[in-house]
Amino acid sequence: MSNTDKTSINSKTASIIKAADLPKATRKTHKGLNISEEELIELYKSMYLQRRFEERSMQMYQKGKFGGFLHLYIGQEAVSTGSAFALNDDDDFITAYRDHGLGLVKGITPNEAMAELFGKKDGCSKGKGGSMHYFKPEKHFWGGHAIVGAHLPLAAGIAFANKYKENDRVTICFFGDGAVDQGSLNESFNLAQLWKLPVIYVVENNGYSMGTAVHRHSAGKLADRALPYGMKYDVVNGMDLFSVIDKVSEVADYVREKKEPYFLEIVTYRYRGHSMSDPANYRTKEELAEYKKIDPIERLKSYILEKEIAKEKDLDAVNEEVEETVLEAVEFADNSDFPDDEELYRDVYAEDDFPYLT
């Protein structure tokens, strides 16, 4: 079957065609990955926090608490959580506009994150960035970026500066499968390999570039984009936390030591539409149901219970704690003030007294 014959909506046969094929998950256990039992619970908590934070965000959006775009990461939490766990705290993260999950794992507090969605002064970008532009450089989170593919050269530059300063930090840059088709990917890959920059490029292949399935927007395999540059690459199961931790750890060691880039295709799935206005009619209910069966949070929960690392009631307690945190964040955001009027003319230039034209 040629690429053009494929379609993700196969109502005639009712068979499920996944937008992307998942590679096999790692067989390693938490012990094999040097994850302690306490860390395992923390990882569960982190993923569940991202999930609940976004479910509440969606409610608040629907209640009219804030406007603009809202792109949800739900379903992809193993990618953010696993990557942050595998890398050092001072390694540099940068991502696209679906940035809530990565922002939260890199140290933006739920309060700051929710306040930013609300456009409030206590937001992680002082209410000036919104959902798509979370920033916290002090925690090495270099932002959510909303022009598709435009942050890939920034990641090369952040990595360039780290190499220049010989500080041993690794940069990791996340983007969606839609960004793979941009020229910026090819220019960044060329520069990163040519100048041997310590950067890991990660395409979070969630199957759809907005509403266009991968096989309808990209020729060839995504991971093969590394080939012409002689860049190392691999494909990872992004619905399985352990697989992400396993591979990103291995790749980070390589990049840190060799000072060379690496390309990872992490196959994952977003449960919600591209944004709040998207009913996702371009895919089948069966496809969504299929992925929900391998939900990364449920998968970790089952693992924890099976291995008797914690009991159901312990995890329920974690869930309750997360629920409280998120509700507090909503309350915090609601009570936070909008930015002062003077803020309109601040943070654009280095000087507060810049002589703006009127």
Partner 1 sequence: MAQKQFREVIRDALREEMERDENVFVMGEEVAEYNGAYKATQGLLDQFGDKRVLDTPISELGFAGLGVGAAMNGLRPVVEFMTFNFAVVGVDQIVNNAAKIRQMSGGQIKIPIVFRGPNGSAGQLGATHSTAFEAFYAHFPGLITIHPSDPYDAKGLLKAAIRDDNPVIFLESEQMYGMKQEVPDEEYLLPIGQAKIKREGTDVTIVADGKFFHIAKQAADQLAKDGVEVELIDPRTIKPFDMKTVIDSVKKTNRCVVVNESHPFGGVAAEVGFQIQRDAFDYLDAPVLRVTTPDVPAPFSKKLFDLWLPGPKQVIDAVNAVTYRT
- The reply on whether position 142 binds partner 1 by CB under 8 A is yes
For the chain, the first-to-last Cα distance in angstroms comes to 61
Residues 191, 213, 226, 304: which binds partner 1 (CB under 8 A)? Answer: 191
Sketch the per residue contact string, 192 through 221, with partner 1: x for CB under 8 A, - otherwise.
--xx--------------------------
CB of 165 to partner 1, least distance (A): 7
Is the sign of the CA dihedral 211, 215, 217, 222 positive or negative? positive
- The reply on whether position 350 binds partner 1 by CB under 8 A is yes
- The reply on whether position 126 binds partner 1 by CB under 8 A is yes
d(CA 47, CA 94): 19
CB of 203 to partner 1, least distance (A): 18
d(CA 103, CA 296): 19
- Determine the interface stretch with partner 1 among 44-52, 255-263, 300-308, 345-353 (rule: CB under 8 A): 345-353
What's the number of CA atoms in the CB half-sphere (13 Å) around residue 218? 24
Q: Angle at which helices 110-117 and 37-62 pack, to 10 degrees?
A: 20
- The reply on whether position 238 binds partner 1 by CB under 8 A is no
Size of the site for partner 1 (CB under 8 A): 49
- Determine the interface stretch with partner 1 among 1-9, 103-111, 141-149, 327-335 (rule: CB under 8 A): 141-149
Residues 187, 286, 314, 323: which binds partner 1 (CB under 8 A)? Answer: 187
d(CA 288, CA 127): 33
Contact by Cβ (8 Å): 91, 140: yes
- The reply on whether position 95 binds partner 1 by CB under 8 A is no
- Pick 32 or 230: Cβ nearer partner 1: 230
- The reply on whether position 342 binds partner 1 by CB under 8 A is no
Contact by Cβ (8 Å): 82, 296: no
**Residue 173: enclosing H or E segment and its boundaries?**
strand 171-176
Residues 95, 188, 206, 284: which binds partner 1 (CB under 8 A)? Answer: 188
d(CA 275, CA 53): 16
Sequence letter at residue 179: A
d(CA 287, CA 304): 26
- The reply on whether position 48 binds partner 1 by CB under 8 A is no
Tokens of 358: 């009127």
- Determine the interface stretch with partner 1 among 33-41, 122-130, 249-257, 287-295 (rule: CB under 8 A): 122-130
d(CA 115, CA 224): 40
SS3 205: strand
CB of 133 to partner 1, least distance (A): 4
- The reply on whether position 164 binds partner 1 by CB under 8 A is yes
List residues near partner 1 by CB under 8 A: 92, 123-129, 133, 135-138, 142-143, 145, 147, 150-162, 164-165, 183-184, 187-188, 190-191, 194-195, 346-350, 354-357
